[in-house]
């Protein structure tokens, strides 16, 4: 689904991503972790075409974004990519349903098929009673479920999530992660999630750890129970935290 080859990115002459290379298989749920400043969000943004990069290649569904023009990137984002962010990105003057439909309305893609998919997702994510409300009337967890409905409505091939549970309490975060994991399984959407939270990462089936712009560790959940996977993530996180505080690159 995604191939990253020798990816480099710098800001103000400081190298943020250092020759990163890895592959993402179709249908994977990957968590990207690392200390603050390790390049997690920069990696997500460059892979998803929200930001440019200095060198290397990124292929999404066999499309090389390196050689794409801006208009082609916009079409790729519209047709194959979706996003969930920490702060929901909902418009206060629009109802829940209008917020969800907005990208499809602008693209002229509102169809009976979309309506059917909307009701199915809205029921699954338990937002049907909310669709005529405005964002100010919703809790944080409800807002994030609205954002997830919007993201999955277009049946994207890839979903990029940047700290999707960062603004939620523990109960709402757990509910959100269970939804993401279920939709990843049911819809087969490839999911990449940046998170600082080991518990959130334990919902994924693969974890990539970054330090100073390079991948320093990665492992798979396999047949492990979620609690066992969390313990493994916590151990590596602790070790990488010690590495960072010691100043080792």
Query: pLDDT tens digit string along 13-26?
Result: 899 999 999 999 99
pLDDT at residue 166 is higher than 90: no
pLDDT at 199: 93
Give me the residue spans of the domains in the chain.
2-38+70-90+155-246
Q: Tell me how far apart the alpha carbons of residues 96 and 58 are, in angstroms, rounded to a whole number.
A: 34
Better-scored residue on pLDDT, 243 or 85? 85
Task: Kindly state the helix (H) or strand (E) to which residue 41 belongs, with its residue range.
Answer: helix 40-47
CA distances from 36 to 49, 95, 102 (A): 22, 35, 33
pLDDT at residue 245 is higher than 50: no
**Alpha helix locations (H) across 89-225?**
96-106, 112-124, 140-153, 170-187, 198-201
pLDDT at 237: 86
| Domain 2-38+70-90+155-246, architecture per CATH | 3-Layer(aba) Sandwich (3.40)
Averaged pLDDT for residues 103-115: 89
- Residue pair 89/109 in contact (Cβ under 8 Å)? The answer is no
242 falls in which pLDDT band (50, 70, 90)? low
């Amino acid at each position: 689904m995604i191939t990253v080859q020798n990816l480099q990115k710098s800001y103000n002459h400081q190298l943020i991503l250092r020759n990163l290379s890895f592959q993402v298989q179709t249908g994977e749920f990957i968590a990207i972790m690392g200390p603050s400043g390790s390049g997690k969000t920069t990696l997500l943004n460059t892979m998803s075409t929200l930001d440019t990069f200095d060198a290397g290649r990124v292929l999404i569904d066999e499309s090389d974004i390196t050689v794409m023009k801006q208009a082609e990137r916009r079409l790729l984002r519209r047709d194959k990519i979706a996003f969930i962010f920490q702060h929901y990105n909902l418009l206060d003057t629009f109802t829940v349903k209008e917020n969800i439909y907005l990208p499809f309305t602008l693209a002229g893609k509102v169809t009976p098929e979309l309506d059917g998919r909307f009701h199915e997702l809205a029921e699954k994510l338990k937002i049907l009673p909310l669709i005529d409300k405005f964002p100010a009337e919703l809790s944080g967890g409800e807002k994030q479920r609205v954002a997830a409905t919007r993201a999955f409505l277009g049946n994207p091939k890839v979903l990029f999530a940047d700290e999707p549970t960062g603004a939620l309490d523990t109960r709402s975060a757990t509910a959100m992660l269970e939804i993401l994991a279920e939709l990843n399984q049911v819809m087969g959407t490839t999911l990449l999630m940046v998170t600082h939270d080991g518990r959130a990462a334990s919902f994924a089936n693969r974890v990539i750890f970054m330090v100073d712009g390079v991948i320093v560790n990665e492992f798979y959940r396999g047949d492990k129970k979620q609690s066992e996977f969390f313990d493994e993530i916590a151990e590596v996180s602790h070790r990488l935290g010690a590495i960072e505080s010691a100043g080792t690159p």
